[in-house]
């Protein structure tokens, strides 16, 4: 965990998962945290960073070189079109990997005993905190919050409809004690900055 106000989490290619402290100002329970962590672990296990770099690598490189050449010859419009095409290829694939991470993250959280219905709630809470934005075909490497929430709800309906939700946990009390520790650590950091 890092002290960072913006709610976010990400996985590094080596398997390290980083969670911003600001996420604890959004999430309500441990099951929601499990959804986020499961999603990020899935990125590492499925080698998404490597796969993103390999996806249509030669085509994307050709488009990038073509864009540079077009710019060098004064054809800025063509360079822009080639840049848009390359971005659409790269980001479209990234969005599909995000969907896979959401789907596998659900599986991880259910296997760990958490209620998967809390996963779509994460995106409702994120929208409440940060708002939502439309998915841009060219520049968005994640679907918007509403789309991700809908995707997760469909996954739950299609793949977890026979589950006994009474045996699954949300972990609200334990989570609230962790939230208190995170906030306490953040306030100590602020006090140290003031004294410096």
Task: Clarify whether 132 is annotated catalytic.
Answer: no
Per the CB < 8 A criterion, the answer to whether 159 and 111 are in contact is no
Q: Do 89 and 137 touch, CB atoms closer than 8 A? A: no
Contact (CB, 8 A) for 119 and 152? yes
Write down the catalytic residue from 30, 86, 98, 102: 102
102 is catalytic: yes
The 3 state secondary structure assigned to 46-115 is CCHHHHHHHCCHHHHHHHHHHHHHHHHCCCHHHHHHHHHHHHHHHHHHHHHHHHHHHHHHHHHHHHCCEC
Which is the catalytic residue, given 40, 86, 118, 155?
40
Q: Cα 27 vs. chain centroid, distance in angstroms?
A: 14
Give catalytic residue positions: 40, 102
């Amino acid at each position: 965990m890092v002290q960072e106000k913006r709610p976010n989490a990400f996985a590094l290619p080596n398997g390290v998962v980083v969670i911003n402290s600001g996420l604890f100002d959004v999430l309500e329970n441990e099951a929601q945290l499990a959804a986020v962590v499961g999603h990020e672990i899935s990125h590492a296990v499925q080698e998404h960073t490597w796969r993103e770099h390999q996806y249509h690598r030669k085509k994307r490189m050709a488009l990038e070189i073509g864009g540079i050449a077009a710019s060098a010859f004064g054809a800025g419009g063509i360079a822009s079109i080639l840049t848009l095409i390359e971005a659409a290829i790269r980001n479209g694939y990234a969005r599909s990997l995000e969907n896979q991470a959401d789907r596998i993250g659900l599986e991880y959280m259910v296997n760990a005993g958490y209620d998967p219905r809390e996963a779509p709630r994460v995106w409702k809470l994120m929208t409440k905190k940060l708002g939502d934005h439309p998915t841009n075909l060219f520049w968005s490497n994640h679907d918007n919050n509403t789309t991700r929430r809908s995707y997760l709800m469909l996954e739950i309906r299609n793949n977890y409809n026979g589950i006994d939700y009474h045996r699954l946990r949300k972990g609200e009390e334990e989570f609230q004690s962790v939230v208190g520790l995170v906030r306490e650590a953040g306030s100590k950091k602020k006090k140290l900055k003031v004294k410096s």
